[in-house]
A and B are shown apart, each in its own frame.
Chain A
Amino acid sequence: MRVLEPRKILEEGVLEVRGDGKAGGGLVLAFQSLAALFSSLPDSHVQEWPFFSSARRGANIRSFLRVSAKPIDVGCEVTRPVVTLLMDEAAAQATDFADGVPHGGTFVINTRRTPEECAKHFHLSGRVMTVPGDDIGTKHLKHAIGNVSAYVAMVEAIGGLPVQTVVDVFLGQLKKRRIPDVLIERNREALLATKDAIRSGIFDEARPGDHQSTAFAGYGELPLGAQTRLRLAQTNKTSTYARSGFRLVFEDPNLACTGCSHCITNCPEGIIRWQPDEARGVLVTGADVSQFCKLCGECIEICPEKLFKEGKYEESWDDAPAEEVTK
């Protein structure tokens, strides 16, 4: 397998880069910073933009970047990126972040896992780079946000840029957003701490047919009212909109549920579990968070006994559906 060198591709033509993440996870800032970084170089041309829907925080989003020494005419989405980023492992549940990446491409993943584990799990062939961005964010920014480290890892993947410029450009983006100086300094620490945390390896784990886009097969039947049907479709797993790393937890060891039913009537997805109860009318027993709970927090807010809360959750590569949360 021939590994494609992003820097060489950039010198010869247009370097195409793509990233997948979740709204609110910092993907857009990371890509805007990359664009600003390459734009700051003499005679370079960039094109960077996000793709997102009207869905709120937690929804899958994409970012695109093109860099070239010549003016860039092409304006369509990047479908065959040489470098791709997975900012949030949970985003990979709803999309193939490696879709269209040629053999020998570079895959950057924000994760604690090793490049080898990622290559095997996602069936990747090429250079795989991992960085524990959320951990670095937690340590330096007091917030599990991995975009600082993802940005550094992406720059490392492309190569050939001086560290000081890399740091200055990112901090410049933050200054444009009027981020307080104390936070800018913490970001500087996170930027400098990242380089040593990046792990890299070359693997050939893709099987024939992996990451090849399927041809568009038309829109099918879209009768009047289909918008609502799409919104409510059983295949539209709204749980992918939930904040990464958290799940709804229900705990009622002392049977404190009063049977008020507010959680049942307020849940927009109808996932609260209950059973008839002679004394209370209904007894809430849990919630099915496997497919539709997007952690909107309605039940957490409304329950007078505070029986619902957000619990930390480690993204699992186990394909088995998440269990019903009941305690």
Chain B
Amino acid sequence: MSTSTLGPVSRVATPSGERYDGIIDLAKVRAAHVPFYTTREALTADGNTAAAIATLQMWRAIIYPGFPITPSTKWIETVAAKVGAQKGTAKRVKLLEAEHAVADYMVGSAGACRDLIVSTATSSVGLDHMTETTRSLGASGFGNVMIVNVYRATANFPLCIEGDPSDALAHRDDGFIQICARGKQQIYDTVIQAPCLGMHPDVMTPTMPGYYGIKDSHRNAKLWIESDADVNAFQDRWIKPCVLPGTINGDTAMGNCVTSRWFQGFKIAQKRRIENVLELLPQIGADFERTFGRPGLAFFDEVGFRGDESVDVAVVSMGPDFGTFESVREAWAAKNGKSVAGIAIRLLNPFPREAVRKRLAKAKVVLVVNQAHHSGRGHLTLDIADALSGVDNPPRIVSAFAGMGGADVSEATWEAMLDEGRDALTAAPKQPYMVFHEGARL
């Protein structure tokens, strides 16, 4: 036992190594938090600003490494501007030389104290550049790491800066909890809830809240900001002192090598931890709704379902274009005499198979709208097919692509896709997958 000016320090033996409690005095970190908002306020903000404000309001988040890449740049710009303008803050922004450096910096920061949150934002090839380290982070138990992923097509040939979730979907095996948000409010709310999920002792897995580039990152709308005190009170209910050590003497030091005899064991444990999200996420979402009066985390948003009643066409999609579907749904249904409902997937990893299966099992046709390039029928299509496998009289699946590279998904495009869903009520889909743009099937 020794002491420092920061407070009493104790060494505690754990199966994973020695934990040095008290090296970072959390009470002092908490006391040093200078609130950004002392009352509930309405702003006009874009998605990047909404995500940045949420991370700034957390007393546990004091270090923000970053490297700019469109369309996530405004996240780090906002964080830097607000930290720079706040007198006496303990928060620090670290601009690094590349995304890989950012991810490595997060390892050190997160490992130094697992009770503090370290957060950054990136997009597209920025996330690709981080991959070597994100794969380690995903397995590390660093639930205190949060990468805000602003979706953008992860290809530089051709380069396109608009929103397309191919980056998020290409990184589903990195081991992060990936949650898609749409709309400013949902972005803000998701970022607040994500660490509660990731840092839970049964989960201990980094989080990757995400939203569509340009379509949401750059779209301004009204946003309700809760006070810092209320945000932190909510997080404090869920985030407890971490039971694992940092990287010192721990088995999570990057570069540690095990033989195949042990590797699988670690991976099984990693898988079990992330699957605990399926039980925990609805609890956190329900508590958020009770606290703030808005819907909290959910596996998916849904529209048009009536209890367990059957529905002719059920749409599966994600992101802000689902709103356009919502706006045409009733008129299309009335015109065609068919019942139409839909879900917008929010939890991408782990995929909520059981909940999706339950919701879609009584649909006659499931129209899956993919927005990311895929070598086969589409990422979401495969997930839905998996979720529905084994269902008695399974729905017919129609696989569509629209909005790749952030292309506009117009009302006419949704109507054309719904038409294909309607046709599949009586005949097999014309093709294994179909691509739509500006109201036409290509």
Give chain A's interface residues, CB within 8 Å of chain B: 32, 35-36, 39-40, 44-51, 53-54, 72-77, 79, 178, 215-216, 218-219, 227
Contact = CB atoms under 8 A, between A and B. Distances in A.
Nearest to A213: B438
B215 interface: yes
Contact of A218 (B159, B160, B413, B442): B442
B73 interface: no
B227 interface: no
A240 to B, nearest CB: 19
A47 B324 CA distance: 13
A76 B440 contact: no
Contacts of A54: 70, 159-161
A76 B222 contact: no
A31 to B, nearest CB: 8
Contact of A216 (B221, B409, B411, B438): B438
With a 10 A CB-CB cut-off, give which of A46, A54, A73, A75 has the most chain B CB atoms: A75
Interface residues on B, range: 20 to 34
Contact of B219 (A39, A48, A219): A48
Given A46-B222, A74-B327, 5 more contacts: A49-B214, A49-B219, A75-B215, A75-B323, A216-B440
Given A76-B411, A216-B438, A45 B221 contact: yes
A51 B321 contact: no
A76 B44 contact: no
B220 A73 contact: no
A32 B220 contact: yes
Contact of A39 (B222, B438, B442): B222
Given A215-B438, A216-B438, A35 B218 contact: no
A249 to B, nearest CB: 33
A46 B70 contact: no
Contact of A75 (B218, B320, B439): B320
Nearest to B157: A227
B117 to A, nearest CB: 26
30 contacts: A35-B220, A36-B220, A39-B220, A40-B44, A45-B221, A46-B222, A47-B220, A47-B221, A49-B214, A51-B214, A53-B161, A73-B323, A73-B326, A73-B327, A74-B323, A74-B324, A75-B324, A75-B409, A76-B321, A76-B324, A76-B408, A178-B81, A215-B439, A215-B440, A216-B437, A216-B440, A218-B440, A218-B442, A219-B442, A227-B158
Query: Considering residues A32, A39, A215, A227, which has the most beta carbons from chain B within 10 angstroms of its beta carbon?
Result: A39
Contacts of B221: 35, 39, 45-48, 72
Contacts of B437: 216
A183 to B, nearest CB: 18
Nearest to B439: A216
B276 interface: no
A48 B184 CA distance: 12
B131 interface: no
Contacts of B442: 218-219
Contacts of B326: 73-74
B410 interface: yes
Contacts of B409: 75-76
B130 to A, nearest CB: 21
Interface in B27-58: 42, 44, 46
A47 B322 CA distance: 15
A49 B218 contact: yes
Contacts of B158: 227
A243 to B, nearest CB: 22
A272 to B, nearest CB: 28
B220 A48 contact: yes
B439 A39 contact: no
A77 B439 CA distance: 13
Nearest to A227: B158
A102 to B, nearest CB: 16
B227 to A, nearest CB: 20
A32 B49 CA distance: 13
Given A74-B411, A76-B408, A215-B440, A49 B215 contact: yes
Contacts of A75: 215, 320-324, 409
A216 B437 CA distance: 8
Given A216-B439, A216-B440, A219-B442, A77 B214 contact: no
B142 to A, nearest CB: 33
Contacts of A74: 323-324, 326-327, 411
Nearest to B49: A176
Contacts of A35: 44, 220-221
Nearest to B182: A75
B337 to A, nearest CB: 22
A50 B438 contact: no
A79 B410 contact: yes
Interface in B392-427: 408-411, 413
A54 to B, nearest CB: 5
Contacts of A48: 219-221
Contacts of B438: 215-216
A219 B438 CA distance: 12
A75 B325 CA distance: 9
Nearest to A217: B440
A216 B214 CA distance: 23
Contact of B408 (A32, A36, A77): A77
Contacts of B439: 215-216
Contacts of A79: 410
A295 to B, nearest CB: 23
A46 B440 contact: no
A218 B413 CA distance: 13
Nearest to A47: B221
A257 B35 CA distance: 63
B258 to A, nearest CB: 43
B280 to A, nearest CB: 29
Instruction: List the 3 shortest-distance A-B pairs measured between CB atoms, nearest first.
Output: A216-B438, A49-B219, A74-B327
A90 to B, nearest CB: 23
Contacts of A49: 46, 214-215, 218-220
Interface string B157-169: 1111100000000
A36 B440 contact: no
A48 B223 CA distance: 13
Contacts of A44: 222
Contact of A77 (B42, B46, B81, B410): B410
Interface string B207-232: 00000001100111110000000000
Contacts of A50: 214, 218
B78 to A, nearest CB: 10
A45 B215 CA distance: 17
